[in-house]
């Protein structure tokens, strides 16, 4: 085993030599970073454990072991297919695609699978790779999976549960959840719609349309009309029992998919635009916040997305930023341009730059999962710095304006670079590349392991970081892809031709 380990470590060392190069060569460094992670995943597993574990879901980047987290259906391999194609690693792509084409969805030790995660990673990954390569075997495999996942909609009201339970599906006794995350059943539309477009089988689109029908009917019935709560009673089709609202965890991609569905359908259905406009107006009023920063801080125009809790006599606005919420800059940018809403076009930049600021605000140069800030009373207008309030409530070890880090981890997430990439493609502002390059360098400096890159426990530390031995598949599917595209020509995965699902898989838009 030691000989094989030396081969892998030697490979990583070669691949990262270029990363001391100036930012003008950033694209090559990003490709090298991806290839190092990919080769460590594939070479280490194949050399030291055997070809069967090539189909493990993830590489544990500290211990060098493999682990299954999503049914044992090669999540990292499938999730990385289109990234391999985009970075012109065609030989690796065809080897991986051949393995993906032979996946057996019946071969799992699990009794149920996460419907949302399997849809965005596996179904999305196969569809994105097919849209780029035209390899029919990938579409056939996607159709197999789509048919299996389609069974999750076999409930009394045709709304799926959080889990696709195999035995319950066989017995025909599935029911929708009564306290499920809003995003889970409501973020399947892009994948099933694209599958319907490619196969010509409308059953997939019909399935997700039932969920859209529910969303449309329920949008005005929640405690914060216009938004859907974090948790929804899908079984009884009620949205009026939960008081919490966010565009972060539990809800994020529900909102993300509204303008993206309008784009994928070429605007043929106005309801996605209508729902987006209504939700975005409430988000601007009750969810977005402007952090209070010292008057000398040139970034005092930035925005973040927080939470709202609706009580009988008041609405509590909580200025809690989440890394997951950083997708909002891209959402407002796409919605603003697509539907001609100038105000949203302006908001997109303030949100995207806010997440860029948050990376630089912490000692490691990375944004935590969740953190709280002092907030201004409004999104615009005067917001004088309150030193007394900061001394009383703020974490004196952190940058002024930050109150605490409720979850200080960085888990290799993509949402910040996603919005910065989309903002750059929409505006062409070159300073955004400088922000992205700094982010990438800090991430590599603090997450690199002998095998690849790892989530870290605490972004507030100075010096060596604690590695968590986790590298989720979105590191290669999303984070490194968006960084790479940030420094690529605009015709590589053009936004005029493709729409990204929430796992960064590019779906080709139907010909207008």
Contact 418, 330 (CB under 8 A): yes
Give the pair of three-digit tokens for residue 404.
Answer: 């605490």
Distance (Å, whole) CA 458 – CA 452: 18
Catalytic member of 252, 320, 349, 503 = 252
Give the pair of three-digit tokens for residue 45.
Answer: 């597993």
Distance (Å, whole) CA 82 – CA 504: 9
Contact 247, 325 (CB under 8 A): yes
Closest CA to 120 of 472, 419, 483: 472
Active site residue 39: no
Distance (Å, whole) CA 328 – CA 486: 18
Residue 122 per-residue DSSP state: I
Closest CA to 350 of 372, 328, 366, 369: 328
The dihedral sign for the CA sequence 414, 420, 423, 428: negative
Give the pair of three-digit tokens for residue 387.
Answer: 């030193």
Distance (Å, whole) CA 29 – CA 40: 16
Catalytic member of 131, 135, 349, 369 = 369
Active site residue 236: no
Closest CA to 128 of 80, 182, 187: 80
Catalytic member of 25, 117, 297, 386 = 117
Question: What are the backbone angles phi and psi of residue 133, rounded to the nearest 5°?
Answer: -100, -25
CA distance readout (Å), 307 to 201, 215, 315, 416: 39, 20, 10, 18
Alpha helices in 315-341 (DSSP H): 328-339
- Residue identified by tokens 């966010």 is 246
Contact 473, 57 (CB under 8 A): yes
Catalytic member of 57, 415, 418, 472 = 415
- Strand, helix or coil at 190? helix
Distance (Å, whole) CA 325 – CA 308: 14
Active site residue 369: yes
Helix (H) or strand (E) holding 307: strand 307-310
Contacts of 215 (CB under 8 A, 6+ apart): 186, 228, 254, 275
For residue 105, count other CB atoms closer than 10 A to its CB.
16
Active site residue 320: no
Task: Establish whether 83 is an annotated binding residue.
Answer: no
- Residue identified by tokens 């990003």 is 30
Binding site, annotated residues: 502
Binding site, annotated residues for Ca(2+): 502
Catalytic positions, written as ranges: 117, 252, 369, 415
């Amino acid at each position: 085993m030691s000989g094989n380990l030396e081969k892998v470590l030697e490979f990583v060392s070669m691949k990262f030599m270029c990363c001391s190069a100036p930012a003008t060569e950033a694209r090559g460094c990003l490709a090298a970073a991806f290839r190092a992670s990919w080769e460590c995943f594939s070479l280490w597993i194949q050399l030291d454990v055997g070809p069967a574990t090539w189909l493990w879901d993830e590489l544990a980047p500290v211990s060098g072991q493999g682990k299954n987290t999503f049914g044992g259906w090669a999540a990292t391999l499938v999730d990385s297919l289109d990234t391999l194609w985009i970075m012109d690693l065609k030989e690796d792509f065809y080897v991986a695609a051949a393995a993906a084409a032979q996946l057996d969805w019946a071969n799992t030790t699990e009794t149920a699978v996460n419907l949302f995660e399997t849809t965005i990673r596996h179904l999305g990954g196969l569809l994105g790779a097919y849209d780029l390569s035209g390899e029919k075997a990938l579409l056939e495999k996607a159709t197999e999976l789509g048919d299996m996942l389609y069974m999750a909609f076999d409930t009394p009201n045709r709304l799926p549960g959080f889990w696709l339970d195999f035995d319950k599906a066989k017995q025909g006794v599935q029911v929708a959840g009564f306290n499920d995350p809003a995003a889970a059943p409501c973020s399947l539309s892009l994948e099933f719609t694209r599958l319907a477009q490619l196969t010509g089988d409308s059953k997939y689109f019909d399935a997700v349309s039932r969920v859209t029908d529910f969303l449309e009917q329920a949008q005005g019935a929640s405690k914060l009309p216009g938004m859907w709560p974090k948790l929804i009673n899908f079984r009884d089709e009620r949205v009026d029992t939960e008081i919490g609202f966010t565009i972060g965890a539990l809800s994020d991609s529900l909102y993300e998919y509204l303008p993206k569905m309008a784009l994928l359908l070429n605007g043929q259905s106005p309801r996605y635009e209508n729902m987006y406009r209504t939700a975005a107006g409430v988000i601007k009023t009750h969810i977005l916040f402007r952090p209070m920063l010292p008057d000398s801080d040139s970034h005092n125009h930035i925005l973040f997305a927080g939470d709202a809790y609706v009580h009988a006599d008041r609405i509590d606005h909580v200025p809690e930023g989440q890394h997951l919420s950083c997708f909002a800059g891209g959402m407002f940018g796409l919605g603003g341009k697509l539907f001609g809403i100038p105000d949203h076009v302006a908001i997109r930049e303030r949100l995207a730059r806010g997440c860029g600021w948050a990376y630089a605000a912490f000692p490691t140069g990375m944004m935590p999962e969740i953190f709280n800030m002092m907030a201004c009373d409004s999104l615009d207008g005067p917001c004088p710095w309150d030193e007394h309030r900061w001394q009383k409530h703020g974490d004196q070890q952190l940058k002024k304006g930050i109150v605490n880090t409720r979850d200080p981890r960085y888990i290799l997430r993509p949402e910040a670079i996603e919005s910065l990439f989309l903002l750059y493609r929409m505006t062409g502002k070159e300073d955004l590349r400088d922000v992205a390059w700094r982010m990438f360098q800090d991430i590599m400096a603090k997450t690199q392991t002998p095998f690849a890159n790892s989530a870290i426990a605490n972004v507030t530390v100075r010096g060596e970081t604690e590695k968590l031995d986790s590298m989720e598949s979105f590191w290669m599917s999303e984070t490194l892809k968006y960084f790479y595209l940030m420094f690529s020509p605009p015709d590589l995965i053009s936004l005029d031709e493709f729409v990204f699902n929430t796992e960064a898989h590019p779906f080709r838009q139907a010909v207008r």
